[in-house]
Amino acid sequence: MSNKFTYFDFICYFIPGAILIWSFILLAKSIGILAYLTTFNTFTDTLGFIIIAFVLGHFIQYKSKQIIEPKIKRKYWNGAFVSEQFMIKNNKFCDEIDRLKFLKMAMESFKYSQEELKKLDSNTEEARKLSHSIYRKAYSLINNAEINERATTANVYYNFFRGLSATCFCSALLFLVQSVIKILENWGACSWEFIKEDLLIPFLLMIFFFYLTSCFIDRARQRGELHVEQTFNSMYIYYLGGIKYGKQS
């Protein structure tokens, strides 16, 4: 499983970085500076592309956590992580029947008292910290028991889609810049031929990547919620004795 998630980890960085480089290459080619950015050696250019894409992917993930994640939290999660609300009464992420089962599990497995868990009846800052604390203990346990595959996969894809949303937004801006440059270069001499040959494709790509940005933000939201749900479900089945150590069907 370690090799599998090393592969996914690489994909999370390489694909967003590669897409953004591709968008920049199209911009550079459009404004005539691409020749200054290539060595004209296939091996060197390919190796450079892979290395830069991977490094750029790390930067994208870093910035997406700073910029995209807060937007997801504000828009979908009431300004907090799902794990900070999952165990609070009347939350929208967990049915009350399941929540009560998870509370019993937390009390017996993690030695929380009824008085401590009573704080989860109201949506306070203290309750959110307690909910997140229970989640962290559950996630640590399923990792130690090696039954974390579903929860970890959902978390990997959450990071993947979060990074893709940032990539697509930046790519859309690059295509917007390309369109503006083309319009300024041909200001006063615009024609249908100019629109078809120089303006239509970057304009359509700009719209497409702005649309993908919203799609991937929603996909990140779905995977973030699924990660927390799978963490508690895996922990609860393990608590009931339904999963053997290191096994998850």
Inside any domain, residue 53: no
The residues, any chain, with a CB within 8 Å of residue 127's CB and separated by 6 or more, are 88, 119, 120, 121
- Number of separate domains in the chain: 1
Q: Judge whether 56 and 188 are in contact, CB under 8 Å.
A: no
DSSP letters, 161-217, are HHHHHHHHHHHHHHHHHHHHHHHHHTTT---HHHIIIIIHHHHHHHHHHHHHHHHHH
Report if residue 5 sits inside a domain.
no
pLDDT of the residue at 40? 83
CB atoms under 10 Å from CB of 6, counted, come to 10
Concatenating the DSSP letter of every residue in 212-228 gives HHHHHHHHHHHHHHHHH
Indicate the pLDDT class of residue 249, thresholds 50, 70 and 90.
Answer: very low
Report the percent of the chain where pLDDT is more than 70. Answer: 90
Residue 12 included in any domain: no
| Confidence (pLDDT) at 64 | 96
Q: Which residues have C-beta within 8 Å of that of residue 88, sequence separation ≥ 6?
A: 120, 122, 123, 127, 128, 131
179: Cβ contacts below 8 Å, ≥ 6 apart: 199, 202, 203, 206
pLDDT bin (cut points 50, 70, 90) of residue 20 is: very high
Q: Which runs of E-coded beta strand occur in 61-160?
A: none
Query: Does 137 map to a domain?
Result: yes
Query: Is 35 among the domain residues?
Result: no
User: Each residue of 94-140: pLDDT tens digit?
Assistant: 999 999 999 999 999 999 999 999 999 999 999 999 999 999 999 99
pLDDT in tens, 189-200: 666 676 677 788
Tokens 């290395």 map to which residue?
51
Domain of 186, in residue numbers: 67-240
Q: Is residue 231 part of a domain?
A: yes
pLDDT at 200: 87
CB 168 within 8 A of CB 16: no
Whether 3 is in a domain gets the answer no
In a domain, 151, yes or no: yes
Query: What one-letter code names the amino acid at 63?
Result: K
